[in-house]
Structure 1
Amino acid sequence: MKFIDLFAGIGGFRLAFESLGCECVFASEWDKFSQQTYQDNFGDIPAGDIQKIESKDIPKHDILTAGFPCQPFSIAGVSKHNSLGNKHGFKHSTQGTLFFEIVRILKDKSPQAFLLENVKNLLSHDKGKTFSVIESTLREELGYHLYYQVIDASLLLPQHRKRIFLVGFKEPIKFNFPIINPININIEDILESDVEDKYTLTDHLWQYLQNYAQKHKEKGNGFGFGLVDLKGKSRTLSARYYKDGSEILIPQIGKNPRRLTPRECARLQGFPDEFKIIVSDTRAYKQFGNSVAVPIVKEIAKEMIKSLSNKIFLEIKPSTIKQLELPLVF
């Protein structure tokens, strides 16, 4: 099956779908550093800003994939925009409108199926109004049969990362999200054995983070650094990890904790060790923080391909297939 990779980032969707024998016929990513990583690993440069690409220039495909920009809908993104007095969600002047680029392409190219990924907060943003617009647009305006589910990547990876996945089919065919059997993988399983000293926090930064956490603790807030249990799961890796690494810190005996290395971030997202990391650490942290959890996407892709291949039609049009949430593993 042929698929396109929109808002491609560094190719997490592509890794998952190509590992199942699918062929990527088009990719789009506006960030030049992500384009560089994508080219280093897949051999071709994604087209640029999707807003400047006409539908006629996109090849025919069976499946559209997209992890469309989530910052306007994420908890952190909403808080940031509120603090700056900016609009968020669909009112955001640029990022929030990019969902409608997906709508444009779905309308013009009419692929058999799509897979979209976003933050869990998309469901509750603006008291559910944002998701209501998305749902009605995909179902009623475009005529897709929609399924959606929130999945925590901790089922297959050593980090808690709740994301909503939306799967749509042009025909009323049966689809089930995968029943994922959790695997026993912890932070210590993805750590490198020999790590440079530059990843260890300076005394100044470590003291600052401790003081910051204490200040918020006294105020009854939950803000603070995340010193991980090596035999457990980490917090969610974010694109801001490059700033101080505070959400995921690795304890060290006899010295200050350290950040994850870029390779460890890649492993935390399920990227294979063969995946090339050519860019700077700062760029790599942003890229992996913005990426998808590859093994989770692969499990969903398997079920999509199975549904498209078997085409077992539903007896009743699924006008209200509700979202489910897999049991979380802690």
Structure 2
Amino acid sequence: MSQLELDYLNYNQDLHNDLFLISTLLEAYDQKFIATHLNKLPGNNWTRETINRWIKGKASPKLSKAEYEHLEALVPKASVTPNNYDFKFIDLFAGIGGIRKGFEEQGGLCVFTSEWDKFARRTYKANFACDNSFHTFNEDIRDVTLSKDTSKTEQEAYKHINQVVPDHDVLLAGFPCQPFSLAGVSKKNALGVKHGFECDTQGTLFFDVARIIAAKRPSAFVLENVKNLKSHDRGKTFKIIMKTLDELGYSIADADHLGAKDPKIINGCNWVPQNRERIILVGFRRDLNVHEGFSLKDLPLPANTPSLGDILEPIVDEKYLLTPKLWEYLFNYAKKHQEKGNGFGFGLVGPEDRARTLSARYYKDGSEILIDRGWDFEKPITDKANLINRPRRLTPIECARLMGFNTPQGNEFKIPVSDTQAYKQFGNSVIAPMFSAIAKHMKPRIVSSKS
């Protein structure tokens, strides 16, 4: 027996450990990525087909100690553990984990995650520990709340939620915005069917959030949405949400603020060089008496914000440059609307500028945030020499920095998906350091509510 084989057997007596590791990694990475990663070790020549044969049971997995450790390094390590945490939270409509990242940085332990998009789940699992000894991963939240089955009673739903969702101190949710249908409450009450928010919010994904709050009664919650939630469906949506949360026994920070500068609407430009306004609803259970005096007006802001130039890579692949045809289209489209007096057009930015809001459609043409590479607007669009200076879009790594997932010059956040999916994911996500600030602002009251 060779020394390599002896090293392997001494290190890993159970061949199933190899398959378990590979299976864990395949939740975030594809076979090609794993094979390529293994081939970074000298002398290796792995293929995706070899790994496929393992998964299909057509060959026995066998990794050397060096290979096992090389792959094991890809598995996210928990920064907060069941032996070392300040509070527990759950992460609903989790996306790629922007809100979780902020709350983990303040000592929170994530015990439950729900995310339906398979590509977002891959990115999430590549970056956050999802150890099933203390954490549960769910895909469709409606399977937890039983909201797809209208035959289930409220009591059955609450019992199921209590069985599936671990106890937690804080509920986090960046839920999608949907209009509510105001069905006749009195008619349903007369029929003995549902009441209160169970009637008003049924059929929306906020309904699932409310059901979990009602069943688990966390000390606090943080709900995130676009700032237009307040005016959505002529204000009816927001009114029902606030009424529901109040009736569930929670005090919402700055609930009565009606002015133009609503503290609940926070701009991420305080943390990153991007305009990104979001409405944040922070609620504390009234019976715990920790809510008095809490306001997002007092949210501490960082002393310094990185500039756009701070997050840009010095050299990027040419594939991120706009094609001459696309740049000509965007250029002429903007010019046409400017002549009509409209404000439509691309967002060309330089190192000292603040970017527009990164959106999920960024993968299409990148028009809302284009990096200026010295385009001369005095020359015609067809000038060949000038075309060399046509703008480029952000790279996925730069998007991660723009959303605060990476440090200004870092690439620590793993991106295991295509550029198209990465652009969608970052465009749909949140400013991670903003939620770290919110968690820090809430933490004393969260911890106090547990005593």
| TM-score in terms of structure 2 length | 0.62
Q: Aligned to 1:251, which of 351, 356, 372?
A: 372
Contact 1:119–1:164 under 8 Å retained in 2: yes
SS at match of 1:252: coil
Matches within 5 A, 1:162-241: 162-171=277-286, 172=289, 173-174=291-292, 175-177=294-296, 178-241=299-362
1:46 maps to 2:137: yes
Deviation at 1:20, TM superposition (A): 1.1
Which protein is bigger by CA-based radius of gyration? 2
Matches within 5 A, 1:72-151: 72=178, 89-90=179-180, 97-139=204-246, 141-148=247-254, 149-151=264-266
What residue identity is the alignment partner of 2:347?
G
Contact 1:270–1:295 under 8 Å retained in 2: yes
Distance 1:190 1:96, change over 3 A: farther
Alignment size in residue pairs:
291
- Rounded to whole Å, the distance in 1 between the matches of 2:92 and 2:215 is 15
Residue of structure 1 in register with 2:119 after alignment: 33
Deviation at 1:90, TM superposition (A): 3.0
Deviation at 1:46, TM superposition (A): 3.2
Q: Aligned to 2:435, which of 297, 301, 326?
A: 297
Residue of structure 1 in register with 2:272 after alignment: 157
- Rounded to whole Å, the distance in 2 between the matches of 1:224 and 1:6 is 35
Deviation at 1:181, TM superposition (A): 4.1
What residue identity is the alignment partner of 1:176?
S
Distance 1:95 1:185, change over 3 A: farther
- Rounded to whole Å, the distance in 2 between the matches of 1:222 and 1:179 is 34
Q: Deviations over 1:37-71 (max 9, x none)?
A: 1111114383101011141311111000011124x
Which has the higher mean CA deviation after the structures are superposed, 299-308 or 169-178?
A: 169-178
Residue of structure 2 in register with 1:9 after alignment: 95
Contact 1:38–1:46 under 8 Å retained in 2: no
RMSD across aligned C-alpha pairs, in angstroms? 1.8
- Rounded to whole Å, the distance in 2 between the matches of 1:132 and 1:220 is 36
What residue identity is the alignment partner of 1:60?
D
Distance 1:218 1:263, change over 3 A: same
Distance 1:274 1:95, change over 3 A: farther
Contact 1:156–1:182 under 8 Å retained in 2: no
RCO higher in structure (CA 8 A, sep ≥6): 1
Q: Deviations over 1:234-263 (max 9, x none)?
A: 000011101100000001134210000000
Unaligned runs of 5+ in 1: 73-88, 312-330
Contact 2:169–2:446 under 8 Å retained in 1: no
Residue of structure 2 in register with 1:268 after alignment: 402
Identity %: 57
- Rounded to whole Å, the distance in 1 between the matches of 2:424 and 2:326 is 20
